[in-house]
Structure formats: C-alpha cells, structure tokens
C-alpha cells in the first residue's frame, strides 16, 4: 500500500496520530476534496497529490494510534510503514509536517512518557530531524484551546525545544485547519522552501 509514490523529486509529507486533522490540512493546501471523518483511521494508505508541478508532490501518510475496529498488529504495521516511507524517501522530502491536536497532544505525550517509553509523536519529530528532513509541527484545533501560549510552550517543551514557542516559529505553527486558519503553517513551510531555493512552490502555501 505504501509503494504508490509518484516519481517526484520534491515532497512535503504530513504525519501524525489519527484524527488530528491531517486530511483537513491537506484539503487546505491542495484545494482538493480529501476523505475525512470523525472515526480515527479513515486514511489507511498514503494519499499523494502531485497537481502542482512536474517535480512536486504533497503526501498525507496514514495516521497511527487508536483506530476504531482496527487490530493492534495492523496499527503497528502502519506505524512501521510510515517510518519506512520517511526513511526510504528522506532525500526527496523537503518538509515533514507533524500534525498535532492542540487540545490533546500534551496530555497524550505525557500519558505515554516513561523511563522506557518515548511517545511515537516525539519519536517521529526526532526521526525527521535525524533524517535531515525539516520539521514543521502544525498544532491544529487551536480554536478549541483557551491558554494558547501556555499550551504551545508545553508542546515545544515536550519536543525538546526550549520555550517560549515563539522563538521556533519556523518549526511550531498554531493552526485551525477546519476553519481555514493556516497562515502560521504557510509561513513556516515557506521559510524552508526559501532555504531550498524553491520560490516556485511558495504559491501553494
């Protein structure tokens, strides 16, 4: 299911837990209708959108974590496949977008943090860095968050980025994708496209 990638030299990928709004953000980026739903796990295989340029593709990778009616071994296989996809295509991926649920992310990270466990979202953030893929953390559903700066500082802290979060605006982007409020995300991605000298792609963000 993960070997469907178009032959494109430059890529932006979206990764994250199920039901955090990856597909909604994809719809904002591409303008194309993307399957979304209330039930976690709607996206089970990569969705590739190569509408923009002969050498550019945006990919929505399947979410991981709880999925209604999905066996544990299937969930684990999806996580493994996501990691393998990033490793196999790292040289072509310009930006890795880690989408978080701004309301729930800190609690989920804390719940899965122990002496012998690193939460998968934190592992993914470190993996992007290790693979030399520029990470952008799109902290979604911020319209549901009251203590905005405090919550974003906590997100930065959990990812090993020293607060305050505002010094990491090329990495941490508060958004509300469902309401079309994604300007912080667009700005962060454009920063990395600038560094790659890909001004031609900035019009898509």
Q: What is the mean pLDDT of the chain?
A: 87
Res 98: pLDDT = 97
H helix and E strand count, the chain = 6, 6
> DSSP letter string over 141-170?
-GGG-SSHHHHHHHHHHHTTPPSPGGGGTT
Per residue in 78-103, pLDDT (tens digit) is 888 899 999 999 999 999 999 999 99
Per residue in 22-81, pLDDT (tens digit) is 989 988 988 876 554 444 444 457 888 876 667 888 999 988 765 556 677 777 788 888
Res 117: pLDDT = 78
Q: pTM of this prediction? A: 0.89
Domains in the chain, ordered, with CATH? 10-197 (3.40.50.300)
Q: Which two tokens stand for residue 41?
A: 């796990």
48-52, 119-123, 171-175, 201-205: the lowest-pLDDT one: 48-52
If 0-12 CB within 10 Å is exposed, 13-18 middle and 19+ buried, where does residue 115 land?
Answer: exposed
Q: Which two tokens stand for residue 129?
A: 């860095």
Res 68: pLDDT = 55
If 0-12 CB within 10 Å is exposed, 13-18 middle and 19+ buried, where does residue 162 land?
Answer: exposed
Q: Find, among 201, 136, 124, 125, the residue nearest to 174 by Cα.
A: 136
Query: Would you place residue 163 in the very low, low, confident or very high pLDDT band (cuts 50, 70, 90)?
Result: very high
Instruction: Answer whether residue 169 shows pLDDT above 50.
Output: yes
């Amino acid at each position: 299911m993960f070997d469907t990638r178009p032959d494109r030299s430059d890529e932006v990928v979206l990764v994250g837990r199920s039901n955090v709004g990856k597909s909604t953000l994809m719809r904002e980026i591409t303008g194309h209708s993307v399957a979304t739903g209330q039930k976690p796990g709607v996206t089970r295989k990569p969705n590739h959108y190569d509408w923009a340029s002969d050498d550019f593709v945006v990919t929505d990778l399947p979410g991981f974590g709880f999925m209604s009616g999905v066996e544990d071994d299937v969930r684990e296989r999806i996580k493994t496949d996501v990691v393998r996809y990033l490793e196999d295509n790292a040289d072509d991926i310009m930006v890795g977008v880690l989408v978080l649920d701004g309301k729930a992310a800190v609690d989920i990270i804390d719940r899965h943090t122990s002496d012998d466990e690193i939460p998968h979202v934190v592992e993914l953030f470190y993996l992007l860095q290790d693979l030399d893929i520029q990470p952008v953390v799109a902290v979604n559903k911020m319209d549901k968050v009251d203590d905005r700066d405090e919550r974003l500082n906590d997100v930065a802290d959990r990812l090993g980025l020293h607060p305050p979060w505002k010094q990491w605006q090329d990495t941490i982007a508060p958004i509300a994708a469902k309401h079309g409020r994604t300007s912080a995300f667009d700005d962060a991605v454009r920063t990395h496209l600038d560094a790659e000298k890909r001004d031609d792609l900035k019009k898509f963000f």
